Structure 1
Amino acid sequence: MAGKEIQEMKGSEGGARRRRRWAIAVHGGAGVDPKLPLEKQAQAEKILARCLQLGVAALRSNLAAVDVVELVVRELETDPFFNSGRGSALTRKGTVEMEASIMDGQRRRCGAVSGVTTVKNPISLARLVMDRSPHSYLAFHGAEQFAREQGVETVENAYFVTEDNAEMLRLAKEAGSILFDYRVPMAAGCRAEAAAGEMNSLPLSVYAAETVGCVAVDTQGRCAAATSTGGLMNKMEGRIGDSPLIGAGTYACKACAVSCTGEGEAIIRSTLARDVAALMEYKGLSLDGAVQYAIKERLDEGKAGLIAVSSDGDVACGFNCVGMFRAYATEDGLFHVGIWD
């Protein structure tokens, strides 16, 4: 074969390698009450499907993965059904302290914020921290000041508070407990235990820690992840969970992108998102193999779930509780929206 022909073949193969399959996954929290009313299930699935379609359309239009995950999580933050942005969980003082993070796996760039009280879309502030600041993480007063400097949209803290959340905070205070599931109406037995101050004895599977997240890989093989939450109902002021912590609730690299949800303290201890990537990088596991191993072996007694995509266009999810609000799609035609195992 002539040298010119060899060079042309190499160029063609290189181009084929650069053109990857896109994939995307979205979650709305892990740990779902098995008695979740059917109308609530349908509402959750409708929101997830809408956000998934938004992300799919963006990927088909060749938007970069990091732009796609920000776009989708902004949409989730705007809808009060899940625990992020408007509709976030309330602190014990009845205020909202939100947190979010985003990571671009191509160069492992990241941005995160915590203790945000007036920023309408915390995920976009996290993106600005990544793109326009010399830092990776800003919190509380510093994050709010940076938001004002960048001219992002802000609102009064009352904008984020819903009637449902105010009622669940009241129940949490009566129970003297921190509630994971503040969106699902409690059954009579649960209400009795709450009144008796015994909510902490209930497993997380009764609750729904409804953090939101999105992971995507574009046709260039670039992976990105974004996660946003209001945290736990009746949490102490200043509490920070896994969602803004790179390597715990969010991680992206050249191999994959991961977004986690569930018991934040357990996810932090296990560095769950980073472990998925490490299992792929150092043990050579497939994406699904890494996800399942991390969920089964790294959480100890904690309850959590995660979504992930690989640079090859694979998608995987895993959870060790009753259910996880999730949706995913691939360029190969896979499209799934679900809640239960």
Structure 2
Amino acid sequence: MERNMGGWAIAVHGGAGVDPNLPQQRQEEAKQVLSRCLNLGIDALRSNLSAVDVVELVVRELETDPVFNSGRGSALTAKGTVEMESSIMDGSGRRCGAVSGLTTVKNPVSLARLVMERSPHSYLAFAGAEDFARQQGVEVVDNEYFITEENVGMLKLAKEANTIMFDYRIPAAGGLETCSAVVESPILMNGLPISVYAPETVGCVVVDSQGRCAAATSTGGLMNKMSGRIGDSPLIGAGTYACNICGVSCTGEGEAIIRGTLAREVAAVMEYKGLGLQEAVDFVIKERLDEGKAGLIAVSNKGEVAWGFNTTGMFRGCATEDGFMEIGIWD
């Protein structure tokens, strides 16, 4: 799907890899969050906020709502803790900031922006990132703020099955075997089989009325992930990328996205192969993921918006200045 109407455009996502049997109530809950966040971004764009301001604003809202896996409601590590990560990129000058291993920062995306604007570095992680957060006076909360009762229960199921969880919002009161996300043929992650898998990263891409592109991505990672694991979301060029021609945010199997440098590839094939935005998105989804599963949203400096995925679904929403707006999950 592509819209090319000029002016501003915005897209949001809440993760790729949705179980096809996700209860209708959960689908509607996710759509309501996406709609609210999309409208927040639309209002900001109509107020002439810059692209980078808008992506931070929208992702902050997504981090605050526990429906998706970032900020409050983040996936839990094997130790039962939260290790959040985020990145932001301003296509004007290709400035970027990223953070990983956060345990107390309420809005990781805002700390990523402070790394971009107030530090001599592009990426800070774990204790160093937490120290920088306190130096900058950002809001911090106890780790328990991010942990939900539902995620504690799902971590227990994941541990019992010795696996990583897929769409852990699927009710599984009878145990993991009742969760329809369990697949007969294991997914290979980094060449190793896992039973089930959990994306649900959030992201936002924007082109403003002046043609400036920006992107931001935020995640809690994978349910039952190893402590210290870093995914694609904070990696510039993998999960997030923005330049003078486009902005891209990815979601899905982080290890595959990293190998394919997926976000940068969209910009690269536009620049070097002359592809349009949707053509570029389709190309990288088909040609750069190998056997990986992922999705992405993108905007161009021409006011286009596009998305693509090779999973069963992707939580997403998009809008353009001409009044077009869409919220969807399935293909």
* TM category, shorter: over 0.9
Q: Which residue of 2 aligns with 1:111?
A: 97
Question: Which runs of structure 2 are paired with 1:208-247 in the superposition (5 Å)?
Answer: 208-247=198-237
1:34 to 6, 16, 20: 20
Q: Deviations over 1:9-28 (max 9, x none)?
A: xxxxxxxxxxx500000000
1:155 to 127, 135, 141: 141
- Shift of residue 191, structure 1, vs aligned partner: 1.4
Q: Which residue of 2 aligns with 1:172?
A: 158
- Shift of residue 180, structure 1, vs aligned partner: 3.0
Question: Contact 1:99/1:112 (CA < 8 Å) preserved in 2?
Answer: yes
Identity %: 74
SS at 1:29 equivalent: strand
2:305, 2:287 → 1: CA distance?
A: 20
Question: Contact 2:317/2:327 (CA < 8 Å) preserved in 1?
Answer: yes
2:104, 2:257 → 1: CA distance?
A: 27
- Shift of residue 186, structure 1, vs aligned partner: 4.2
Q: Sort the Cα spacing of 1:54 and 1:97 in 2 relative to 1 into closer, same or farther, 3 A.
A: same
1:201 to 186, 192, 211: 186
Question: Contact 1:32/1:206 (CA < 8 Å) preserved in 2?
Answer: no
Question: Contact 1:70/1:226 (CA < 8 Å) preserved in 2?
Answer: yes
- Spell out structure 1 runs of 4+ moving beyond 4 A: 186-190, 197-200, 202-208
2:330 to 308, 333, 340: 340
1:183, 1:261 → 2: CA distance?
A: 17
- Shift of residue 185, structure 1, vs aligned partner: 2.1
Aligned length: 321
Q: Deviations over 1:150-179 (max 9, x none)?
A: 000000001100001001100000000111
Structure 2: 5+ residue runs without aligned partners? 1-5, 189-193
Q: Which residue of 2 aligns with 1:278?
A: 268
Verify: 1:182 aligned to 2:144, yes or no.
no
- Shift of residue 315, structure 1, vs aligned partner: 0.2
2:177 to 184, 188, 191: 191
1:99 to 79, 82, 85: 85
SS at 1:74 equivalent: helix
2:205, 2:52 → 1: CA distance?
A: 9
2:219, 2:104 → 1: CA distance?
A: 14
1:186, 1:206 → 2: CA distance?
A: 13
Question: Contact 2:164/2:196 (CA < 8 Å) preserved in 1?
Answer: no
Q: Sort the Cα spacing of 1:216 and 1:48 in 2 relative to 1 into closer, same or farther, 3 A.
A: same
2:313, 2:298 → 1: CA distance?
A: 16
- Shift of residue 207, structure 1, vs aligned partner: 5.1
TM-score (norm 1): 0.90
2:264, 2:324 → 1: CA distance?
A: 26
Q: Which structure has more helix as a fraction of its residues?
A: 1
- Shift of residue 247, structure 1, vs aligned partner: 0.1
SS at 1:340 equivalent: coil
Structure 1: 5+ residue runs without aligned partners? 1-19
Question: Contact 1:98/1:116 (CA < 8 Å) preserved in 2?
Answer: yes
Deviation larger for 178-187 or 47-56: 178-187
